[in-house]
Amino acid sequence: QVQLVESGGGLVQAGGSLRLSCAASGRTSSIYAMGWFRQAPGKEREFVATITRNGGNTYYADSAKGRFTISRDNTKNTVYLQMISLKPEDTAIYYCAAKPDFLNEYPYWGQGTQVTVSS
């Protein structure tokens, strides 16, 4: 099993920045990719960004490109999401997720961290 704990959420004004962190514990050797997803009130959860084990491959949702950067520190078993130029529409609960390389879906999820962007 893998446990994920997010941190770094909060309230920020439009145009501001936040950095989310997600610390993994447990069977971290089984993790291949880690990702960030978000769910806004009344909406379905959506993909934000993902990064592979060695950090060589990153993928972003169109809404995140140019503003969000995903990175990971394997020595700390931690993945980060640096967010700049935040918009009110970025307001959501942000979830960290992890998966082994043989699965397409993410079986491991954190509890989420709230990001609120005020206008």
Residues of the chain with pLDDT under 50: none
Residue 6 to residue 109: CA distance in whole angstroms: 10
| 62-74 core/surface letters (b: 16 or more CB in 10 A; e: else) | eebeeebbbebee
31-61 pLDDT tens trace: 889 999 999 999 999 999 999 988 779 999 9
Res 102: pLDDT: 86
For residues 37 and 94, the answer to whether their CB atoms sit within 8 Å is yes
